[in-house]
Amino acid sequence: MSTSAQQAFQTNEVEETRVARWRYEQFLALGFGAEDAFVLSSSGVDLHAARTLMELGCSRPLALRILL
């Protein structure tokens, strides 16, 4: 693998890590526990849908069932 290809791969990997961490923090801020936030953030769940459910008063357990 060329040096530029390695750098591009590393840049993409760093960006993916940042996005995953940000999503995890967003789910924590919505009140989900650490384990649930990790599952939600790594599963590709729609963060906006999660916010909407919580804003409408959905309980966390029910939100998890709906989202996953």
Please check the confidence at residue 5 and state whether its pLDDT lies above 90: no
Please check the confidence at residue 8 and state whether its pLDDT lies above 80: no
Domain limits at 52?
3-67
16-33 pLDDT per residue, tens: 999 999 999 999 999 999
Whether the CB-CB separation of 68 and 39 falls below 8 Å is answered with yes
| Confidence grade of residue 9 (pLDDT, cut at 50, 70, 90) | low
| Confidence grade of residue 2 (pLDDT, cut at 50, 70, 90) | low
| Confidence grade of residue 13 (pLDDT, cut at 50, 70, 90) | confident
Whether the CB-CB separation of 63 and 50 falls below 8 Å is answered with yes
The alpha carbon torsion through 14, 43, 33, 31 (nearest 10 deg) reads 90
- Entry pTM: 0.80
Provide the number of structural domains found in the chain: 1
Phi, psi of 40 (to 5 degrees): -65, -45
